Amino acid sequence: MSSGSIGRRHFIGSTALAGAALIAPPAFAIETGEDARLDAFFERIFQRSLDRSPTRQSVLGIRRDQDKWDDVSEARELEDYRLRQRDHAELQEFDVAKLSPQARLSHRMFALQSERALRDFKWRHHDYVMTQMGGVHTRVPSTLTNSHPIATRADAEAYIKRLAGVEPLMAQAVARLRAQEARGIRPPRFVYGLVIEPCVNLLKGAPFEGEGDSPIFADFKTKLAAADLSDADRADLLARGTAALTGGFAAGYRALVAHLRAAEAQADGVDGVWKLPDGEAYYEVQLESYTTLPRKAADVHALGLREVAAIHDAMRAIMRRTGFDGDLQAFFASMRTDPRFYHPDSDAGRAAYLAEANALLDEIRARQGELFGHLPKAPVEVRAIEAWREKSAPKAHYRNPPQDGSAPGIFYINLADMQAQPRYQLAATLYHEAIPGHHIETCIAHEMEGIPKFRRFASIAAFSEGWGLYSELLPKEMGLYADPYSDFGRLSLSLMRACRLVVDTGIHAMRWTREQAVAWLDANMPSSHYDNQREIDRYIVLPGQATAYYIGMQTIVALRARAREKLGDRFDLRRFHDVALGAGPLPLPLLEERIDNWIADGGAAA
C-alpha cells in the first residue's frame, strides 16, 4: 500500500496537487503555443497549491514555510473549492484543437479531476476527519520525524514553532470533528480508541511522565546533536523545544484526546457508511472514485465471490503439491501455526526478518532490468515501522522519497507482532511495495520529464494499487517464488484483495456488521482472526478504497493479454511496462486508451 493511495476519494485530489510542485520549471515538451499557455496554467496552480501547504513543502524537502502547519479549517476548504471552481472555468478557455496530443491528455486529466472534485464537494463531511489509518494526529509526528531535518539553527527554530503550533492546529481539527458530529457523522465507536492511543503515546516519556524520551523529544534531541551548532545554541534550543513540547504540543493533543473521549460516548456500533445521511449514494461515489470505473456494489460483490472461489482452487493445487493431508481450512490452520513459517517475536527475530527482506530486495533489484527499459534513479530500502505507531499502522506500506533526493524510498514493515508477519508472505509484500511495485511506479512518475506535475504526482488508487498487486504476479512469471509456500503467500495476498471486494461492499452496501465481516474473512482467509479484524477495521473507515486493488490489477492483466494477442511476436514485456507507467498514474479508462494506442502503433518503444 503506497502512502499516497489511501487519502481522499478524488483520483487526483487536492493533497496530490499541493504536494506535486517543485521549484524547478517544468520539463513539459512544448509543441504549440496553446501548449505553452496550458503549461503555464498548470504551473501557476501547482505553485499556488504548494504555497498553501507547508506540510507538503516539507515532504518535498523544500525549507520555506517549515515553521507552519497546513490550514485544515472549514474556511480554508471553502476557499479551495472556490479556487477550484475558478480553475475549472479557466480551463474551458483553452482551445483543445490547438493542443498537442500530450497536452490534450493533460487537459482531459485536469478536467476530470476538477469535475470530480467539484461534484464531490457535497460529500466533504462524510470523509472521517481522523481514523486509525491517518489524519492530522499522525501527520504531525510523521512530518516532524520524517520530513523536518535540522541542519541549522533556523531549522531548529522552525521545528520549535511547529511544536508550539500544534495547539491551534488541533483546535482546527476539533472544529472539523464538531462540524461532522453536528451532521450526524461519526465513525464507529471502536475507531476512537485506535485514534486516541497513538496520541497518548506521543505524551509518554520525557519531558512528560514516564520512562525514556517521548518520540518527538527523542527525534528533536537526535537531530540537534547531529546539527552543526555551538553547545550554547544547542542547550538554548533544547530548552525551548522542551517548553514547546510541554506547552502547545501537549495542550493540542490533550484537547484533541479530551474531545475524542467525549465523542466516543456518543458514537454507535454501526459500521457501514450506509448509516450516514445519504450514505448509500455516498458509497456509490466512493466506489467510482477509487476504481475510476462506473461500478455498482452488487457487481463488485459478485466479482469478489467468483475470484475468491478461483483462488481457493489454486491454493488447493498448492496444498496437494506439498503433500498436505486435509482440507483447505486445515491447510490454512497449518500455515498459521507452523513455527517454521515465523521468525521469533524477539529482537533477533526482527533482525532476521529484515535480513531476509533485504536479501529478497537485492535479488529482485538485480533482475529489474528484465521488466523495464526505464528505471528510476531513487534507491529503496527496508525499515521497521517506528514503535510509537506500530499498533495503528498497517502491516506494510511504502513511503515515497523526497524530491530533493535526500532520502530513499522506504518499504516499511510492521514488526510489532512477528506472528502477524509470516515468512511466506514476505516476498509478495516486498514485490508489491518496493520492486517492481510502488517504488518503481511512483518514482518513474515523479522523475518523469515532459508531462505536467499534476500527472506525475497524481494519486489514483486503482492505478497504483492495481500495479502493486500486478507486481506480486510478475516475479511468479520470473520464477522468483522459491517454493510452493511462498507462492501460497502470493495467492494469500491476492485472495485478501479479492475478499476485499466482498467485505467492503458487504459492510457499506449490504449492511454487514463488523463481526459478520470478520467471520466471513475467518472462513475464507488463511490469516489470523486478529489480522482479519484489523483488515475489516481498515475497510470500515476507508469505504471503497479496498476495491481498487483487484479491479486495477484485473485491468492491467487484461490489457497485457490484449497487447500480447494483437502484437504477437512484436510484443515486448519491458515496452508494455514502460508504456503503462510512462504517462504517470492514469484513471483506468485512460490507461486502456493509452495501451490501445500503443498497440495500434505496433508496440514501439515508449
Residue 337 grid coordinates: 501455526
**DSSP structure class, residue 602:** T
**DSSP structure class, residue 25:** P
The DSSP string of 245-292 is IIIIIHHHHHHHHHHHHHHHTT--S--SGGGSTTHHHHHHHHHHHHHS
Number of Cβ within a 10 Å radius of residue 477: 10
> Over the stretch 513-550, which tens digit does the pLDDT of each residue have?
999 999 999 999 999 898 899 999 999 999 999 999 99
Q: Calculate ∠ Cα 505-277-114, nearest 5°.
A: 75
Question: What pTM, to 2 d.p., does this model score?
Answer: 0.88
pLDDT at 1: 64
pLDDT at 48: 95
127/114 Cα distance (integer angstroms): 18
pLDDT at 387: 84
Compute the half-sphere exposure of residue 2: CA atoms within 13 Å on the CB side of its CA: 33
199/496 Cα distance (integer angstroms): 30
Q: If we measure between CA atoms, which residue out of 502, 526, 500, 435 comes closest to residue 472?
A: 435
> Over the stretch 343-358, which tens digit does the pLDDT of each residue have?
999 999 999 999 999 9
Domain boundaries, the chain: 132-269
> Contact at 8 Å (CB) between 429 and 413?
yes
> Over the stretch 560-603, which tens digit does the pLDDT of each residue have?
999 999 999 999 999 999 999 999 999 999 999 999 999 999 98
Please list the ranges in the chain whose pLDDT falls under 50.
4-30
pLDDT at 60: 82
pLDDT at 10: 41
